[in-house]
């Protein structure tokens, strides 16, 4: 994950130890308040955090002053002096989340409780046209803010998911090997310059994993792997609630691991990558090849079947579509068996457009993974479909901003100069 503007972020991260302790304490209390929507008293916060009542009161006073926390009501059923119940103010600000896919842009507007208030989605020639892609992102963020009647510069931040790994040494530059048209574009810097709010950027599979961990099939899991299977294929790894990026942010590139040394040519230049074997283009190519050999299918009359056509046919038990989904599922199962042996996650969540094929795909994945993973790895691992159906990657991008703000409350202040009181506590 990378954040713009970088200079301000670095400055916020520096300072004396006491300031860092205060920021840590503020973040801890804010997270406790967020975690319990029914509300928490100051005494509860002191008890749960181990901080003194005076420290809790000082931090809470600033959180209330800046509108992040509301004094909700007095809890009357307790004996003694009735305490004031404090609640996190999830309506205080909104967040925009953007998914830049290989061939589309999706944008959501989300409140601080994760409720999606509006969405935009459109096809874009992302791989060859950076200018129109970024123009679409800016237009959709402005349009959603306009519909919600909030100014763009009031947003807590904008999260952006991109369809390739990010190199920590050049965080705004997308992979030249995978997206050569973007080689001269610093996407983080340029979008931040246009939107003028904190901008956080990460790989789309990481954001899918984050969305599942917060709102979806991974909510009750400490460790999970999310695998996105669409035009591109990638994995996001969450360990103890944190995205695992590896030493340079490249962890999870399962799409470019080899599942067939003599397989199809991948866009990365290698042969037999998982993405080349199970990505949406491969599925369409496999179906077209089967039809060309004269196999009977409801897709036979379709001139150029798309992934959506294949998925629909599989759902109608079309033999050609089901055979292709089964073949793809077996390749995916090989890669997931390796993943289970390496990482031993408790849950593997499958998402992305290809998984709209549903249970036939998951059954093939489970069968292949079971026959190849060590029994001790697969026994305690569930392989399930994503539960999120409303722009999960854009939602994950917005969640990245929310998570960062709860971990680092200064983000709440960076887009709102009126919060000087809270800055004094947090920095």
Question: Which structure tokens are listed for 209?
Answer: 């994993």
Report d(CA 334, CA 316) in Å as an integer: 26
Q: For residue 268, what are the contacts with CB-CB under 8 A and spacing of at least 6?
A: 177, 178, 256, 275
Please report how close the Cβ of residue 267 comes to Zn ion at its closest, in angstroms: 6
Residue with tokens 């942010």: 249
Strand partners, 41: 85
Q: What does each C-alpha distance from 111 to 4, 52, 269, 355 come to in angstroms?
A: 21, 31, 41, 28
**Mutual orientation of helices 319-343 and 359-372 as an angle, nearest 10°?**
40
Question: 318 phi and psi, to 5 degrees?
Answer: -65, 130
Taking CB under 5 A as the criterion, the residue among 256, 330, 347, 395 binding Zn ion is 256
Which range touches Zn ion (CB under 5 A), out of 17-25, 202-210, 253-261, 370-378? 253-261
Rounded Cα distance between 104 and 256, Å, is 22
Residue nearer to Zn ion on the CB measure, 113 or 177? 177
Based on CB atoms, which residue is closest to Zn ion, 275 or 416? 275
Q: How far is the CB of 256 from Zn ion (least distance, A)?
A: 4
Q: What 3-state DSSP class applies to 295?
A: coil
Q: Which is nearer to Zn ion, 268 or 421 (CB)?
A: 268
Between 266 and 325, name the residue whose CB sits nearer to Zn ion.
266
Q: Which of residues 70-129 bind Zn ion (CB under 5 A)?
A: none
Contact status: 179 vs Zn ion (CB under 5 A): no
Cβ atoms of residues 161 and 99 within 8 Å: yes
Structure tokens at 379: 């026994």
For Zn ion, which is the closer residue by CB, 151 or 180?
A: 180
Interface segment toward Zn ion; rule CB under 5 A; list 143-151, 268-276, 288-296, 382-390: 268-276
Pairing of strands 242-243, 233-239: antiparallel
Q: Is 268 in the site for Zn ion (CB under 5 A)?
A: yes
Question: CB within 8 A of 184, min separation 6: which ones?
Answer: none
Kindly state whether residue 250 participates in binding Zn ion, applying the rule CB under 5 A: no
Helix (H, G, I), strand (E, B) or coil at 344: coil
Whichever of 56 and 278 has its CB closer to Zn ion, that residue is 278
266 part of the interface to Zn ion, by CB under 5 A:
yes
Question: CA 136 from chain center: how many Å?
Answer: 20
Residue with tokens 């304490």: 25
Window of 80-88, 89-97, 255-263, 348-356 that interacts with Zn ion by CB under 5 A: 255-263
* CA geometry: angle 19, 24, 25, nearest 5 deg: 100
CB of 246 to Zn ion, least distance (A): 17
Site for Zn ion in 270-299 (CB under 5 A): 270, 273
Residue range at the interface with Zn ion (CB under 5 A); choices 96-104, 259-267, 277-285, 384-392: 259-267
**Residue 105 forms beta bridges with which residues?**
100, 122
Q: Which two tokens stand for residue 260?
A: 């067939």
- The piece of 53-61, 205-213, 266-274, 306-314 that touches Zn ion (CB under 5 A) is 266-274
CB nearer to Zn ion: pick between 256 and 286: 256
**Please, which residue, 232 or 249, has the CB nearer to Zn ion?**
232
Count of residues engaged in binding Zn ion, rule: CB under 5 A: 5
Q: Which is nearer to Zn ion, 111 or 253 (CB)?
A: 253
Our finding on whether 321 is near Zn ion (CB under 5 A) is no
Stretch in the footprint of Zn ion (CB under 5 A) among 11-19, 90-98, 263-271, 312-320: 263-271
Contact positions toward Zn ion, by CB under 5 A?
A: 256, 266, 268, 270, 273
């Amino acid at each position: 994950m990378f954040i713009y503007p970088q200079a301000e972020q670095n400055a916020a991260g520096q300072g004396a130890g006491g300031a860092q302790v205060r920021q840590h304490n503020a973040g801890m209390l804010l997270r406790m308040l967020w975690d319990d929507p029914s509300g928490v008293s100051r005494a509860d916060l002191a008890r749960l955090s181990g901080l003194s009542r005076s420290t809790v009161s000082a931090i809470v006073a600033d959180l209330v002053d800046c509108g992040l926390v509301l004094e909700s009501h007095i809890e009357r059923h307790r004996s003694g002096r009735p305490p004031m119940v404090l609640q996190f103010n999830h309506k205080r600000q909104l967040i925009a989340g953007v998914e830049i896919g290989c061939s589309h842009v999706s944008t959501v507007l989300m409140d601080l409780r994760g409720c999606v208030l509006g969405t935009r989605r459109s096809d874009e020639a992302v791989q060859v046209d950076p200018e129109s892609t970024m123009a679409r992102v800016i237009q959709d963020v402005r349009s959603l803010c306009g519909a919600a009647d909030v100014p763009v510069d009031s947003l807590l931040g904008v999260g952006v998911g991109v369809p390739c790994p990010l190199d920590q040494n050049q965080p705004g530059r997308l992979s030249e090997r995978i997206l050569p048209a973007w080689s001269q574009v610093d996407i983080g810097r340029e979008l931040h310059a246009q939107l003028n709010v904190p901008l956080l950027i990460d790989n789309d599979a990481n954001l899918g994993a984050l969305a599942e961990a917060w709102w979806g099939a991974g909510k009750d899991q400490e460790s999970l792997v999310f695998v996105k299977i669409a035009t591109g294929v990638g994995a996001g790894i969450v360990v103890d609630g944190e995205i695992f990026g590896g030493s340079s942010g490249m962890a999870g590139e399962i799409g470019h691991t080899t599942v067939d040394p003599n397989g199809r040519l991948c866009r990365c230049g290698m042969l037999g990558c998982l993405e080349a074997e199970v990505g949406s283009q491969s599925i369409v190519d496999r179906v077209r090849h089967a039809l060309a050999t004269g196999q009977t299918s409801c897709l036979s009359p379709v001139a150029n079947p798309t992934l959506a056509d294949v998925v629909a046919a599989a759902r109608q038990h079309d033999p050609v579509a089901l055979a292709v989904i089964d073949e793809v599922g077996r390749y995916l199962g090989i890669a997931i068996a390796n993943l289970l042996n390496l990482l031993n996650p408790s849950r593997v969540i499958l998402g992305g457009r290809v998984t709209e094929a549903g249970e036939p795909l998951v059954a093939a994945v489970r069968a292949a993974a079971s026959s190849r993973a060590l029994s001790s790895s697969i026994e305690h691992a569930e392989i399930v479909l994503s539960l999120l159906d409303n722009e999960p990657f854009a939602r994950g991008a917005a969640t990245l901003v929310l998570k960062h703000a709860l971990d680092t409350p200064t983000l709440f202040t960076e887009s709102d100069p009126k919060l000087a009181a809270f800055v004094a506590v947090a920095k």
